[in-house]
Amino acid sequence: MPDEVVSPPDHLPCALTAQDLGGRWQLAGSVSEAWRFHRWHAELAQPVGAFARTAWIDACVPGSVHDDLLRAGLIRDPNFGLASLDAEWVSARQWVYRRTFRIELAPAARLHLCFEGVDYSAEVYLNGECLGTLAGTHTPARFNVSWLDRASEHLLVVVLQEPPAEAGQLGRTSRTKTLKPRAGYWWDFGARLVHVGLWRGVSLQADAGAAVLDVNPRVVLSDDLQRARVEVDLEHDGDLALPVTAELFHPDGRRERVTGSASSLAFSLEGPDLWWPAALGAQPLYMVRAWVTGSTPVKRRFGVRQVALVHNQASHQRGARPYTLAINHQPLYVRGFNMVPSDLIPGRAGVAERERTLVRYALAAHANLLRYNGVGPLASQAVLDACDECGLLVWQEMPLTSSGTDNVPPRSPAFLENLERDLPPLVRALRHHPSVVLLSAGNELTDAQRRPVTDADPTVARMAALIRLHDGTRPFLPSSPSGPEYDLSMPIAQERPHDLHDVHGPWHYRGVQDSYLPYTHNRALAHSEFGCQAASRESTLRRYLTDGPVWPMDDRNPQVVHHGEWWLMAHRIEEVFGPVEDLGHYVRLTQAAQADVLRHALGWNRARRGECSLALVWQLNEPWPNAHNTSVIDYDLKPKFAYYRCREANAPVALHLGLPAPVGDGSLCACPQVLADTAGSGRLTLSLYSVTGMTLLTLSRPVSWPAPGQPVSLPLSDTPGLLRAQLHGEDGTLLARTEQWIARAGAAPFAPIARLTQTTLSVEPSLTGVLIRNVGTYVAPWISVEAPAGVGEHLSDNGFALLPGEELGLRVSLDPPGGPANLTVQAINTAPVTLAWGPV
Residue-level pLDDT at 839: 52
How many other CB atoms are there within 10 angstroms of residue 180's CB atom? 24
Of 815, 836, 838, which Cα lies nearest the Cα of 358? 815
Can 4-205 and 756-840 be said to share one CATH topology? no
- Residue 381 phi/psi, 5° resolution? -65, -30
d(CA 294, CA 289): 14
Tell me how long the chain is.
840
Q: Identity (one letter) of the amino acid at 430? A: L
Alpha carbons 163 and 119: distance in angstroms, whole number: 8
For 113-171, write each residue's pLDDT tens digit. 999 999 999 999 999 999 999 999 889 999 999 999 999 999 999 999 999 999 999 99
Where does residue 1 rank: exposed (0-12), middle (13-18), buried (19+ CB within 10 A)? exposed
Residue 811's CB: how many other CB atoms inside 10 A?
13
Q: Which CATH class is domain 318-548+593-650?
A: alpha beta
Taking the C-alpha atoms of residue 255 and residue 773, their distance in angstroms, rounded to an integer, is: 57
pLDDT at 164: 96
**SS3 at position 525:** coil
pLDDT of residue 257: 96
The domain made up of 209-294+297-302 has a fold known as Immunoglobulin-like (2.60.40)
Domain map of the chain by residue range?
A: 4-205, 209-294+297-302, 318-548+593-650, 651-750, 756-840
Burial of residue 349 (number of CB atoms within 10 Å: 0-12, 13-18, 19+): exposed
* b (16+ CB within 10 A) / e for 70-102: bbeeebbebbbbbbbeebeebbebbbbbbbebe
What kind of fold does domain 651-750 have according to CATH? Immunoglobulin-like (2.60.40)
CA 148 to chain centre: 43
Longest dimension (CA), the chain: 91
Q: Compute φ and ψ for 630, nearest 5 degrees.
A: -85, 5
Q: DSSP label at 594?
A: H
Establish whether the linkage from the previous residue to 788 is cis, with ω within 30° of 0: no
The structural architecture, per CATH, of the domain 756-840 is: Sandwich (2.60)
Q: What is the pLDDT of residue 118?
A: 97
Helix (H) or strand (E) holding 467: helix 458-470
Whether cis (ω within 30° of 0) applies to the bond prior to 449 is no
Task: Identify the pLDDT of residue 264.
Answer: 85
- Report the topology of domain 4-205: Jelly Rolls (2.60.120)
Across the chain, which has 840 residues, the per-10-residue mean pLDDT values are 42 68 97 95 90 94 97 97 98 98 95 97 98 94 96 97 96 96 97 97 95 96 97 89 93 95 92 97 98 94 98 96 98 98 93 96 98 97 97 98 95 97 96 98 96 97 97 96 93 93 97 97 98 97 97 97 98 98 96 98 96 98 98 98 98 98 95 97 98 97 96 95 98 97 97 97 94 98 95 95 97 83 95 83
- The full DSSP string for 318-369 is HT----EEEETTEE--EEEEEE--S-SSTTSTTHHHHHHHHHHHHHHTT--E
What is the pLDDT at residue 241? 79
Radius of gyration of the chain (CA): 28
